[in-house]
Amino acid sequence: MKPMFLFALLCTVATPLSAKPVVGEPAPAFSAIDSHGKTHALADYAGKTVVLEWSNPECPFVRKHYGAGNLQKQQGDATAHGVVWLTVNSGAPGKQGHFDAAGANAWIAKVGSKASAYLIDGDGRVGHAYDAKTTPHLYVIDGGGVLRYMGGIDSIQSADPDDIEKATQYVPQALAELAAGKAVSAPTSEPYGCSVKYGAP
């Protein structure tokens, strides 16, 4: 067996494509282009806390939180404290909720999103790396690049905006705990919402 082939084989075995993200371990590396044509990589934000928010503007559960201003408030509060908030759309072209750059920017203006950037992940590479299942689906990564929270946006699985005030909002809770030097008390939860509209494998 040739040395280069053996090296490539070992590398493939060492990094299985089916690996799932695990809280307490390094978050999957990624690179994606935003709605303004800028490339964002997780490595760009070393030392900063990063939130990833999976979104589909046509999903009733996403509309619940944007319609009530809940996500905009969370985004604004987080970014005001130096957190990088990246909204990710992994809907494939032709699928519900997919945006091109112009569509994404129009929607951002319409809802008043306060995210740091809107990543267009039409090929689903970022979504699959994070095993994102629903919209919304939220992840918190600390300044050391370690995944500290993944799961639902809150504790009441409904599309009713009236439930927001009664629910535990997991991301603000996790961010406050991290900022205070504490362990995240609820590091995982069951995500709920619409399925991410990936393209064919």
Q: Where are the domains of the chain?
A: 27-195
Instruction: Tell me which amino acid residue 146 is.
Output: V
Least confident piece of the model among 11-25, 72-86, 122-136, 139-153: 11-25
pLDDT band at 186 (very low <50, low <70, confident <90, very high): very high
User: What confidence tens digit (pLDDT) does each residue in 35-76 have?
Assistant: 999 999 999 999 999 999 999 999 999 999 999 999 999 999
Beta bridge partners of 141: 50, 147
pLDDT above 80 (res 187): yes
The rounded Cα 142 to chain-centroid distance in angstroms is 13
pLDDT band at 200 (very low <50, low <70, confident <90, very high): confident
Rounded Cα gap, residues 60 and 194, in angstroms:
8
∠111-129-187 over CA atoms, to 5°? 75
| The predicted structure's pLDDT at residue 89 | 98
Q: Which CATH superfamily is domain 27-195 in?
A: Glutaredoxin (3.40.30.10)
End-to-end CA distance of the chain: 31
pTM for the model stands at 0.90
